[in-house]
Amino acid sequence: MKKIYLLISLTMSMMACQKGEMVSSYQEFSEVLFSEPLPSGMQIYRNGDVLTISGQQRVKTPMGEATYTFVDGTGTVLLEQMLAFDKRRDTVSFIEDGEASYVLRSLADVAVNPARIKLDIANLSAFTEGNPVNIQAYKVDNLTLAPLGEPETMSNVSSVFTHNFYELDLGGYAALPVAEVGNYAILLYLVDREGQPYRINGYPVAYFFFPEVDLGGSEQLKKVYRLLLREDNDDLGEVPGVGAYPDGARIFMAVSKDSK
Q: What pLDDT, on a 0 to 100 scale, did the predictor assign at position 234?
A: 84
CA distance 85 to 80: 15
Verify that 146 and 98 share a domain, yes or no.
Answer: no
Among 14-23, 78-87, 134-143, 217-226, the least confident range = 14-23
Please name which of 132, 249, 250, 147 lies closest in space to residue 192, comparing C-alpha atoms: 132
Q: What pLDDT, on a 0 to 100 scale, did the predictor assign at position 12?
A: 41
Domain finish residue from 105, 128, 147: 105
What average pLDDT does this structure show over 146-157? 96
Tell me, what CATH number does 59's domain have?
2.60.40
CB 45 within 8 A of CB 68: yes
Q: What pLDDT, on a 0 to 100 scale, did the predictor assign at position 244?
A: 95
Amino acid type, 249: A
| pTM (2 d.p.) | 0.83
CA distance 166 to 147: 20
Verify that 201 and 229 share a domain, yes or no.
Answer: yes
Each residue's pLDDT tens digit, 162-210: 999 999 999 999 999 989 999 999 999 999 988 999 999 999 999 999 9
